[in-house]
Amino acid sequence: MTTVADPKAPRPPRAKPSRLTTRGNTELYGWVFMRASGVILLVLIFGHLFVNLVAGEGVKAIDFGFVAGKWASPFWQVWDLLMLWLAMIHGTNGVRTIVNDYAERPGTRLVLKSLLYLAFVITVVLGTLVIFTFDPCPSGSPADLLPSFCTAS
């Protein structure tokens, strides 16, 4: 005779879900950031392209003096800094989701994401450093290569 389980006996506790729960709004903020930064980047990047390539003398105007002249103004410093940071966070987060979607082994994910974050840190730190410590008038350079506001030395 087989014994049938007592139907009134309490049921065994439900098996724990296999996935680790990671509650919190991180992914939500990430999702919203992608949309918001995308819209801002559209303005920043097309503004950047227009000023550098179309306005005034167009693409022929670009040389050391042109870039140095731009970075002498706080407006373009802020513009380029915003563009750098937003583009890097936007791009890194995008590649992070792609890695999550396509890399199947945890080891592959870890390696790819480590490389990604390393590239992010190097680019952002270097870029920020250049924007803030840029010297538009390096001494001992021929004056015709420098922006007009440099006093010849």
Partner 1 sequence: MTAVLDAPEQVGAIPSFTVTLRVMRYLPGDDGVTPVAHWDEFQVLCHGTDRVLDALHKVKWEQDGSLTFRRSCAHGVCGSDAMRINGRNRLACKTLLKDLDPSKPITVEPIKGLPVIKDLVVDMEPFFASYREIMPFLITTGNEPTKERLQSAEQRERFDDTTKCILCAACTSSCPVFWTDGQYFGPAAIVNAHRFIFDSRDEGGAQRLEILNDKEGVWRCRTTFNCTEACPRGIEVTKAIQEVKRAMITRAF
Point out which residues bind partner 1 (CB under 8 A). 14-15, 17-19, 21-28, 30-32, 100-104
CA 97 to chain CA centroid, Å, is: 13
Question: Which is nearer to partner 1, 8 or 14 (by Cβ)?
Answer: 14
108 vs 125: CA distance, rounded Å: 26
82 closest CA partner among 37, 51, 21: 37
In 72-105, which residue ranges form alpha helices assigned H by DSSP?
74-102
CB of 4 to partner 1, least distance (A): 23
The distance of closest approach from Cβ of residue 18 to partner 1 in the complex, given in angstroms and rounded to an integer, is 7
CB of 101 to partner 1, least distance (A): 6
Output 19 or 60, the one with its CB closest to partner 1: 19
